[in-house]
Amino acid sequence: MWDQITGPADPLHVEAVVELVLDVLPRCGDIAVVAVDGRSGAGKTTLARGVAAELAGFGTVEVVHMDQLYPGWEGLAESSEILATRILEPLARASPAAYPRWDWDEDRWDGTASVRPADFLVVEGCGSSIGPARPFAAVTVFMEADRELRRQRGLARDGEAYRPHWQRWAAQEDAVFAADDTKARADLVIDTSAGGLPPPAWSPPT
């Protein structure tokens, strides 16, 4: 059974996630993986940035963004397999991981990125906690918000180039999350509908 928080992504949400992470055992070798999953435009990147910054006070942190793993606009379902086999499985063996990065402008794989073993790994993006990736996650978060508000946020963030793709990506989210029961399986559900447009950026205190 998950706990639910409502409101915009903010330091209180960061604190709630970090408390969960520090209270559980790693499931990816010695690495505590935090999967920040959920709907487009719900504030996943903002939350993940804050969680990573806060966890840095407790150990080493690596961050992976799922948008580097999607093989194009139809690649949501496939991405969790890439995450599991190219990143999580090697890290669970205490080995460095390398993964291909998708070039959205060229619509193809282009180059690789590496992830070193660390105390914490924050994985941010749709599909970060589904299917073969889930067993490695110590904490799973599902973020959501009103559909129209999320669409406005997405277009404000990514520009008009995203508009033609919004509906087909949303349809993939609907299908994948329904089949996987992602929200019900999450340790924490955060609804940012009350946050307006856009969700606030969060940075650690200096």
Q: How far apart are CA 202 and CA 114, in angstroms?
A: 26
Counting as low any pLDDT under 70, the low residues of the chain are: 1-9, 195-206
Name the 3-class secondary structure at 116.
coil
Tell me how far the alpha carbon of residue 123 is from its chain's centroid.
5
Sequence spans of domains, the chain: 3-100+110-195
Written as six digits, the tokens of 22 are 């520090």
Q: How far apart are CA 146 and CA 206, in angstroms?
A: 33
Please state whether beta strands 32-38 and 120-124 pair in parallel, antiparallel, or not at all (unpaired): parallel
The answer, as to whether pTM is greater than 0.85, is yes
Q: At what angle do helices 147-158 and 163-180 cross, to 10 degrees?
A: 130
- C-alpha to C-alpha distances, 143 to 15, 24, 47, 90, 119, nearest whole angstrom: 15, 20, 9, 27, 24
Q: Which residue type is seen at 110? A: D
Question: Which of these CATH numbers, 3.40.720.10, 3.40.190.290, 3.40.50.620, 3.40.50.300, describes 3-100+110-195?
Answer: 3.40.50.300
Q: How much is the pLDDT for 4?
A: 52
Q: Which residues of 44-82 are buried (b: 16+ CB within 10 A; e: fewer)?
A: bbbbbbbbbbbbeeeeebbbbbbebbbeeeebbbebbeb
Q: How much is the pLDDT for 204?
A: 35
Residue pLDDT, tens place only, 136-187: 999 999 999 998 888 888 777 777 777 788 889 999 999 999 999 999 999 9
Nearest residue to 62 (alpha-carbon basis) of 12, 28, 13, 38: 28
CB-based contact 32:26 (threshold 8 Å): yes
Largest Cα separation within the chain, whole Å, is 43
